[in-house]
Structure 1
Amino acid sequence: MATENNKRDDSSKDSKSIIDGGNEKEEKKKQKQEDIDNELENSESTDDNRAKTHGEILKQQIIEGQETYDRSSSSILLSSLTAGLEIGFSYLMLCAVFYFFTDKVSEESVFKIIAFVYPIGFILVILGQSILFTEQTSLLSLPVLNKKRSLGSLLKLWGLVIIGNLIGGYLMSFLMVWIGPELEIFTLDSIEKIAVHVTRAESFVIFISAILAGWLMGLLSWLLTSSQDTMSRIIIIYIVTAVMAFTGLHHSIIGNVEVFAGLISSPNITLADYVSFESLALIGNAVGGAVFVALLKYRAFVYNINSVSS
């Protein structure tokens, strides 16, 4: 009987130690989160002429991300649809420049030249404060990493933004396919060649390319937060997106316009081509923005806080 009582006591002690251990871990997690929040709260400078610190940029990005979460679904959908429409002006210029230089220089050179007009739509979207999926990917991930929002709310928000961006792109595609030949600024052949060029790579290549593009767009968002004035923001947008275009990296939103326009105007672009491209580009862009920018930038800040605390 005494032996049984001793076993029960030992079992109770073990259970208690496990519970205490679990509570201790939870307390440590809470303490770490409080340290991170306190450090972010203190990351504020009154000197406008000084470059922003890592913590200041991160704090502002988390705040901006949370503000987007607080917007209504209809507001987010309308803003993202606007971004899908506005990015179409980049496509308008791509087609016009492509058609103008066709037969004047080699096709390979034309695809390099159009990189210089590629940033126009991005400048309109970002400075106009419309919600573009790739520019917002890392921004919207940070409140989740900071435990201010849930993963479910992030996926829901991403879904709304993607839907709005795609619908806006579809509308611009129909408009471009009609108005280009009518104004004689480009032809359906130009649309087809651009679409074929975008989709010609292997699926794995498109996916990795989209990750790099998402990475660049996430860095763009980070750099814009650190910039001080409109002119510097325009230069940053231009440089980053021109690099993306010149190297042929795949962007899911302007790529949506490029490939969908080809789908509705050319037999050489199939529905399977469009779905495959858009799926790979969206996932790749999300990985590039969320993992290589949001996660790494956030973890670098957290590791610095932990090292100081210890």
Structure 2
Amino acid sequence: MADERTNDEKTEDRQEADERSAPSARVVYGAVIEQGEDELKRPVASLFWSSFAAGLMIMASLWVSGALHHYLPETSWAGAVADLGYPFGFLIVILGRLQLFTEHTAVAVLPVLRKPSGRGARGLARLWAIVFLGNMLGAAAAAGLAAHGHVQSTETLDAMVAVSRRLLDRAPLETLMQAIPAGLLIASIAWIRSATEGSGFWIVFAITYAISVSGFAHVVAGASEAFLLLWHGDVSARWVAFGFVGPALLGNIIGGTGLFALLAHAQVKEEVPTA
């Protein structure tokens, strides 16, 4: 049977189909590339203060998790419910567009992979160093405030310390391996948000809850717990640096940069120009 629709009706159908279709991987890649290029161009002061604020705000994850832990009974499912607090710091940081190591730093790798150069590599190293330093200083400051600033009840602080002590159950190698999937998942947030509209809250919540309930290790969120243990007197600075932060950092880089960024680039490299 012949198609009796008018040209206008066919055009409208095509437009509606385009609107209902998810963007192609090439389109998402282009959007993420633009984000990465913007991050690489930001001034040093802007990067530092944004990353410092992110390190401060990530403490919300531990505050809420600690509060939930305090009010929950000692049951087999209490840990999974307390883990619902973990996404809160990430929601503030990511939706607030603050600089978080493994999210923005993974995005910035894509422009360098697309057009490799010494200048691009130096710019990426600059971004990584500033964001990581700012995140660590912010996390250390927030943990110090929580430990000695009386900003929460003693009961909540004790629960926060109890939650943080889970880090002590891991050997450094275990932390490194458990940080790889965390880096991969956090790096995927920018890609997924570029492919969807209006669901950023639930994307961040679902992915970060999955990280927590699965026992994976994120270097910045975990650093707030490690620094709290340090200021509380449970661990040494050496353990913070080499028992948690170092292995978690390496694992997050492998997962976020080595796996996600390379795979994201590989799937479209034949479809996009390099010049």
1:185: how far off? 4.7
User: Is the CA contact (8 Å cut-off) linking 1:199 and 1:273 kept in structure 2?
Assistant: no
1:14-53 matched pairs, under 5 angstroms: 47-53=18-24
1:170: how far off? 1.0
1:272: how far off? 2.3
- Equivalent residue, structure 1, for 2:217: 250
Matched residues in 2 for 1:87 and 1:182: separation?
Answer: 16
Matched residues in 1 for 2:152 and 2:187: separation?
Answer: 37
Choose which of 122, 126, 137 in structure 2 pairs with 1:156: 126
SS in structure 1 opposite 2:239?
Answer: helix
Bigger proportion of residues as helix: 1
Q: Which runs of 5+ in 2 are unaligned?
A: 1-16
Matched residues in 2 for 1:70 and 1:48: separation?
Answer: 32
> After superposition, what is the alpha-carbon deviation per residue over 1:71-109, rounded to whole angstroms, capped at 9, x for unaligned?
1000010111111111111111111112222xx223x53
CA gap of 1:199–1:222, structure 2 versus 1, over 3 A, is: farther
SS in structure 2 opposite 1:111?
Answer: helix
Q: Percent identity?
A: 26
1:67-106 matched pairs, under 5 angstroms: 67-101=38-72, 104-106=73-75
Matched residues in 1 for 2:101 and 2:67: separation?
Answer: 25
1:1-310 matched pairs, under 5 angstroms: 47-101=18-72, 104-106=73-75, 109-147=77-115, 150-179=120-149, 183-188=153-158, 190-229=159-198, 232-266=199-233, 268-276=234-242, 277-303=244-270
Which AA in structure 2 matches 1:66? E
Matched residues in 1 for 2:151 and 2:141: separation?
Answer: 17
Matched residues in 1 for 2:144 and 2:153: separation?
Answer: 15
CA gap of 1:271–1:110, structure 2 versus 1, over 3 A, is: farther
CA gap of 1:300–1:181, structure 2 versus 1, over 3 A, is: closer
Which AA in structure 2 matches 1:218? A
CA gap of 1:295–1:97, structure 2 versus 1, over 3 A, is: same
CA gap of 1:47–1:304, structure 2 versus 1, over 3 A, is: closer
SS in structure 2 opposite 1:212?
Answer: helix
> After superposition, what is the alpha-carbon deviation per residue over 1:220-268, rounded to whole angstroms, capped at 9, x for unaligned?
2211111211xx11111111000000011001001010011011103x3
CA gap of 1:70–1:47, structure 2 versus 1, over 3 A, is: farther
1:269: how far off? 1.7
Q: Which one scores higher on RCO, CA 8 angstroms, separation ≥ 6?
A: 2
> After superposition, what is the alpha-carbon deviation per residue over 1:5-24, rounded to whole angstroms, capped at 9, x for unaligned?
xxxxxxxxxxxxxxxxxxxx
Alignment RMSD, CA only? 2.1
SS in structure 1 opposite 2:268?
Answer: helix
Which AA in structure 2 matches 1:139? V
Q: Which ranges of 4 or more aligned residues in structure 1 deviate by more than 6 Å?
A: none
Matched residues in 2 for 1:219 and 1:291: separation?
Answer: 13
User: Is the CA contact (8 Å cut-off) linking 2:143 and 2:224 kept in structure 1?
Assistant: yes
1:180: how far off? 5.6
Matched residues in 2 for 1:223 and 1:182: separation?
Answer: 35
1:191: how far off? 3.6
Matched residues in 2 for 1:202 and 1:220: separation?
Answer: 28
SS in structure 1 opposite 2:103?
Answer: helix
1:137: how far off? 2.7
1:304: how far off? 5.5
User: Is the CA contact (8 Å cut-off) linking 2:145 and 2:151 kept in structure 1?
Assistant: no
SS in structure 1 opposite 2:269?
Answer: helix
Q: TM-score, normalised by structure 2?
A: 0.86
Which structure has the bigger radius of gyration?
1
Which AA in structure 1 matches 2:254? V
